[in-house]
Amino acid sequence: MPSPLSFFLIALLLSFISHAQAIENDVPDKTYVPLHMCVWDPIGQAGPAQKIMAEAKIYAYNWGVDLTYDFYSDERIAIEEFKLKRCDLVNMLGFRAREFNAFTGSLGAIGAIPSYEHLGIIIKSLSSDKAAKLMRVGDYEIIGIGPAGAIFMFTRDRSILLPQDFAGKRMAVLDDIPESAYLSKKYGITPVSSTIFNSFLKFNNGSVDLTAGPAIVYEPFEMHKGLEPDGGIYAEPFVYITMQVIARWDALPADFSTKARRKAVEKYPEFVKFLKDPEATIPEKYWIDIPDDLYDYWVEDFRQSRIELGDMGIYDQRTLKLMRKVRCKLDPNSAECSAKKKE
């Protein structure tokens, strides 16, 4: 069964191959730049990315590139190979991109992006020519950003509504997310080190009380097993994550990164539809609506956490500022827009 993250990879890789015919005349026939990509697909070479990369190789010629690739089922190994210069490009989730670019790697700050509309505005802004200098840090450049899903909290106890209610609860966490320790301590949560996939299995068998994931995991991972009899899914996602493609910029032909980022923006509505459609497959009885007064409490609590994590250097404060500006543009009456201490 293809994993949800495999589909995220497919979606982002499509940004490189779709509508390539429209620009085929931009590239001279005689010169092609060799590029090798470490492709992360949780299923590895047998996953759906195999077909996509075969097509990408053909269309890459229209971008002036002779593309080759190897598959990795472990994201961390793919990243390590990239760091060892065994490939020129690699894809990864946004929070891991923080190692290469703190600016784009901070897009997943807790509670900072309220909707796909907000995320779309942010990605479009970061993919513009004006922001190109922010995409390049040292030897690395972000050449594509796409949505990887709204992340919902799954709980085995739907009575949990306030921060203090989380005290003592066991939550599946990824051990390489720097803010995990801070948030666990703040809310009194008992962190249980997990991988992306076994976190759902642990939730279903009762090893953890809480886990998080996009709506697309509900059916393939049979999440109803962990939600019964008293669990639920909080209707408001607490974070939106991204998939990012990172390259060693000096290996790229001219304008390659610009074209890639623009294509990712053009494909954004399709990405979002793919990610949102599974939300409708989740039975209504599992959704937990947070009362407005408690929702406002959480919004402010997350804001204070972002400020502290920004002060600690875990989140890039430039990114926090950009995301606040977008939130206030769409909701200028929000309390944070007139707060004395702003992100």
Confidence of residue 260 (pLDDT cuts 50, 70, 90): confident
Dihedrals phi, psi of 33, to nearest 5 degrees: -90, 125
Which single residue is written with the structure tokens 């470490």?
38
Q: What CATH fold (topology level) applies to the domain 151-238+287-338?
A: D-Maltodextrin-Binding Protein; domain 2 (3.40.190)
Q: Where in the chain is the domain with CATH 3.40.190.10?
A: 151-238+287-338
Residue 46 predicted with pLDDT over 80:
no
Residue 122 predicted with pLDDT over 80:
yes
pTM to 2 decimal places: 0.87
In the prediction, which pLDDT does 47 show? 63
CA 96 to chain centre: 9
- Residues 330 and 309: their CA atoms lie apart, in Å, by 24
Indicate the burial class of 281 (C-beta count within 10 angstroms; 0-12, 13-18, 19 or more).
Answer: exposed
Indicate the burial class of 210 (C-beta count within 10 angstroms; 0-12, 13-18, 19 or more).
Answer: buried
Return the axis-axis angle of helices 4-17 and 49-60, rounded to nearest 10°. 10
Residue 7 predicted with pLDDT over 60:
no
Indicate the burial class of 168 (C-beta count within 10 angstroms; 0-12, 13-18, 19 or more).
Answer: exposed
- Residues 167 and 146: their CA atoms lie apart, in Å, by 34
- Alpha helices (H) in 129-173, listed in sequence order: 132-135
Contact in structure between 250 and 185 (CB atoms under 8 Å): no
Contact in structure between 228 and 156 (CB atoms under 8 Å): no
Closest CA to 171 of 162, 183, 161, 159: 183
Residue 74 predicted with pLDDT over 50:
yes
Indicate the burial class of 1 (C-beta count within 10 angstroms; 0-12, 13-18, 19 or more).
Answer: exposed
In the prediction, which pLDDT does 16 show? 43
CA atoms within 13 A on the CB side of 130: 5
Provide the percentage of residues in the chain whose pLDDT is more than 70.
89
- Residues 103 and 310: their CA atoms lie apart, in Å, by 12
Least confident stretch, 103-112, 154-163, 228-237, 263-272? 263-272
The sign of the torsion formed by the CA atoms of 121, 135, 101, 77 equals positive
Mean of the per-residue pLDDT values of the chain: 88
Q: Calculate the dihedral angle through the C-alpha atoms of 193, 196, 201, 204, rounding to the nearest 10 degrees.
A: 90
- Take residue 23 and report the two structure tokens written for it: 């620009």
- Residues 26 and 276: their CA atoms lie apart, in Å, by 35
Find the mean pLDDT for residues 293-310. 94
Residue 59 predicted with pLDDT over 80:
no
Q: Per-residue DSSP letters for 109-122?
A: -TT---SHHHHHHH
Closest CA to 266 of 52, 10, 17: 17
Least confident stretch, 52-61, 89-98, 246-255, 326-335? 52-61
In the prediction, which pLDDT does 293 show? 86
In the prediction, which pLDDT does 335 show? 92
Contact in structure between 287 and 235 (CB atoms under 8 Å): yes
Residue 248 predicted with pLDDT over 60:
yes
- Residues 202 and 45: their CA atoms lie apart, in Å, by 26
- Residues 115 and 117: their CA atoms lie apart, in Å, by 5
Q: What CATH fold (topology level) applies to the domain 4-97+130-145+241-281?
A: D-Maltodextrin-Binding Protein; domain 2 (3.40.190)
- Take residue 64 and report the two structure tokens written for it: 């002036």
- Alpha helices (H) in the chain, listed in sequence order: 4-17, 49-60, 75-83, 94-97, 102-105, 116-126, 132-135, 179-187, 198-204, 224-227, 256-266, 268-276, 292-311, 317-330
